[in-house]
Amino acid sequence: GESVGLHLPTLSVQEGDNSIINCAYSNSASDYFIWYKQESGKGPQFIIDIRSNMDKRQGQRVTVLLNKTVKHLSLQIAATQPGDSAVYFCAENTGFQKLVFGTGTRLLVSP
């Protein structure tokens, strides 16, 4: 069945380091992927997305990499800041308007 999972439930980094958050997905029909950031008491906040016809997309301080061969997605955050501390979710869209979320990775940034 469908599943989206994360390898590391908690990632601790120092301020200024680069962070890499990983995600595995199992539905090869998924054609669109999104990374969301969720701060305490808030809803998921859109960070960056990528379509299945791409393998890399860059935003401001963030990069998403997609490896369809091994069904792996990653989010790279450059120069991580304390304000980046949150739970990060990957989500996949199989084309039926239903997002399937991963379990989430908590990013802790120490000053």
Partner 1 sequence: EPEVTQTPSHQVTQMGQEVILRCVPISNHLYFYWYRQILGQKVEFLVSFYNNEISEKSEIFDDQFSVERPDGSNFTLKIRSTKLEDSAMYFCASNFEEGNQPQHFGDGTRLSIL
Judged by CB under 8 A, the residue of 73, 89, 92, 105 near partner 1 is 89
As measured in angstroms, the least distance from the Cβ of 72 to partner 1 is 18
Residue 57 CA, distance from chain mean position: 12
Asked if 23 and 73 touch (Cβ cutoff 8 Å), the reply is yes
Q: Which residues contact 111 (CB under 8 A, 6 or more apart)?
A: 15, 82
Q: Does 108 bind partner 1 (CB under 8 A)?
A: no
Judged by CB under 8 A, the residue of 73, 77, 104, 107 near partner 1 is 104
Q: Does 51 bind partner 1 (CB under 8 A)?
A: yes
Q: Does 98 bind partner 1 (CB under 8 A)?
A: yes
Q: Does 29 bind partner 1 (CB under 8 A)?
A: no
Q: Does 88 bind partner 1 (CB under 8 A)?
A: no
Q: Does 25 bind partner 1 (CB under 8 A)?
A: no
- Among positive and negative, which fits the CA dihedral 79, 82, 85, 91? negative
What is the per-residue DSSP string for 67-83? ETTTTEEEEEESS--GG
Q: What is d(CA 97, CA 60) in angstroms, rounded to the nearest whole number?
A: 27
Interacting residue ranges for partner 1, rule: CB under 8 A:
31-32, 34, 36, 41-46, 49, 51, 89, 91, 93, 95-104
